[in-house]
Structure 1
Amino acid sequence: MNRISREDIIHRAKLSEKAERYLDMTQAMKAVSETGIDLSNDERNLFSISYKHAVGKKRSAWRVMTSIEQTFEGDAMWKYERAQIYREKIQSEIEELCNEVIHTIDNHLYPVAQSEESRVFYSKMKADYFRYQAEVVGDPERRRKIVSSADRLYKAAMETAESVMNASHPIRLGLMLNYSVFLYEVKAATRRAINTAKEAFDGALEEFETGILTTEAYKDSTIILQLLKDNVKMWSTTDGRPIDLLPES
């Protein structure tokens, strides 16, 4: 892919985002990712945003259909079976997209990443998509392996992040946010989730007064700090759904 065609594909990805055609956006960014060239920060964020929205819509649909399926239990069998079939179809689509992200990172993005920051970003993203799979997979053995993969990737990414990034760095903060959500939602480890989120919040807050962050990073980190704070409050008082990292961050 030459420079002109690369720019054209990225432009198409941006147009797809404006039109909210996220599956088109994923395919454009997948093509850019397969060129063997390390993505810029902006390209990396476009890649992340495209799949976050595409999978996010299907995750929401899966939750709705799961709820509907449960309401049909004990009702007319055909209604229950129709809901089950449709829920399984959505599940298959989620798993397909998640596997596409994981494959692209493993085979095209991580091998050419030039910085530890990019490697942390991709490891976190890969862990996130294992987490999304864990949300929908019913088979206990498959789910156990998926959860184990996510946990290992989150921990490896955190170890690297702690050695190369300040506690207030938005990528490190986002990693801690999403790992805490993983602990709460997938592993049902509420106390560990709260402690992880609090530790990330407190560590970043101590650095904020030093002025080490750029204006853009400060903005991103502030948003994530609020999400951490909101989740800790919610986990401590209710059974509400936690908020994970906004794709724009």
Structure 2
Amino acid sequence: MAREENLYMARLAEETERYEDLVHFMRKVVESGQELNDEERNLLSVGYKNIVGGFRSSWRSLALIEQRDLDAGSLRLDLLTNYRRRLELQLEATCDEVTQLIDKHLLPTATSTDCKAFYLKMKADYCRYMSEVAQDEKFRTVVETAHRAYEEAYALAEAELPECHPVRLGIALNYSVFYYEALIEPDKACELARAAIDASSAVVNTLEEEQAQDTLAMMQLLQDNLELWTTETLEEGGPPEDAVEEQL
């Protein structure tokens, strides 16, 4: 099937919310060797985000059920644990697939700064998702890989993208979440979020209305996390709430 035919099928799959099909066709588009445009890049991202998002949500639910049954002394705990592990393997395999596409195809063909930064952030995000279920050496490996990719994306965006660029803000948002949740460094997470808010605040009034609205929405996500993390740092007891991250 030709590239344009695969792209057409990917659009159909996205419209009908057939995300497994969407990533199947977008992999074909990626493997054709041509650089993706913004629409194609977002199709790929939406497909994988929905698939992995489902795995992450299910895994968290299973982890809670497992803890509940453990406390109750369930006789079927082994079945539940094995099921959770199967889900972990599916999540890890999908995230590995994404990072390999990025390393082998997407980064080598990326010519613009925003594309390179986007793919580095995407690689870091999917390593972070793996870190949520990984343990021991696997955890350390994916956290280190995520950290390097976030740092490279952040440095590139700071050096070459405007303060209000959506990719730059998305990197700041997800990198700060990584610091808070994976590295357990709340002060650094708050520092990153606050710096992005301050930099955007200085120029948001100079933007066209549509871009200003998008920027303000991203700034609000950063602010929401900042307030959440500040509250959790001040309060003792109670489970931490999930931070907000960019959806693309």
Shorter-chain TM-score tier: over 0.9
- The residue number in structure 2 matching 1:37 is 34
| 1:171 correspondence with 2:167 | yes
Stretch deviating more after TM superposition (5-14 or 81-90): 5-14
**Which of residues 66, 69, 72 in structure 2 aligns to 1:69?**
66
Answer whether contact 2:99 2:126 (CA < 8 A) is retained: yes
Q: What secondary structure, in the 3-state scheme, does the structure 2 residue paired with 1:136 have?
A: coil
Alignment of 1:172-211 (within 5 A): 172-211=168-207
- Shift of the alpha carbon at 1:77? 5.1
**Which of residues 119, 127, 130 in structure 2 aligns to 1:122?**
119
Could you state the TM-score of these two structures normalised by the residue count of structure 1? 0.92
Could you state the TM-score of these two structures normalised by the residue count of structure 2? 0.93
| 1:108 correspondence with 2:102 | no
Consecutive unaligned residues of structure 1, counting only runs of 5 or more, are none
Q: Distance in 2 between matches of 1:128 and 1:215?
A: 29
| 1:222 correspondence with 2:223 | no
Calculate the aligned-residue CA RMSD, in Å.
1.5
CA offsets per residue over residues 171-220 of structure 1, 9 Å max, x none? 00000000000011111111111111011011011111222xx5554343
Answer whether contact 2:113 2:161 (CA < 8 A) is retained: no
**Which of residues 231, 240, 244 in structure 2 aligns to 1:237?**
231
Q: Distance in 1 between matches of 2:213 and 2:102?
A: 27
Give the number of equivalent residue pairs.
241
Q: Distance in 2 between matches of 1:29 and 1:124?
A: 19
Look up the equivalent residue of 2:106 and give its one-letter code.
Answer: L
Q: Distance in 2 between matches of 1:105 and 1:84?
A: 32
Q: Distance in 2 between matches of 1:215 and 1:144?
A: 43
- Shift of the alpha carbon at 1:161? 0.8
Q: Distance in 2 between matches of 1:220 and 1:24?
A: 29
Q: Distance in 1 between matches of 2:7 and 2:198?
A: 38
Q: What secondary structure, in the 3-state scheme, does the structure 2 residue paired with 1:209 have?
A: helix
Look up the equivalent residue of 1:229 and give its one-letter code.
Answer: Q
Q: Distance in 2 between matches of 1:9 and 1:242?
A: 35
Q: Distance in 2 between matches of 1:63 and 1:165?
A: 35
Q: What secondary structure, in the 3-state scheme, does the structure 2 residue paired with 1:168 have?
A: coil
Look up the equivalent residue of 1:221 and give its one-letter code.
Answer: T
CA offsets per residue over residues 106-132 of structure 1, 9 Å max, x none? 111110111111111100000000000
- Shift of the alpha carbon at 1:83? 1.0
Answer whether contact 2:95 2:126 (CA < 8 A) is retained: yes
Q: What secondary structure, in the 3-state scheme, does the structure 1 residue paired with 2:70 have?
A: coil
Answer whether contact 1:12 1:28 (CA < 8 A) is retained: yes
CA offsets per residue over residues 131-165 of structure 1, 9 Å max, x none? 00000112x12111111111111111111111110
Q: What secondary structure, in the 3-state scheme, does the structure 2 residue paired with 1:166 have?
A: coil
- The residue number in structure 2 matching 1:80 is 77
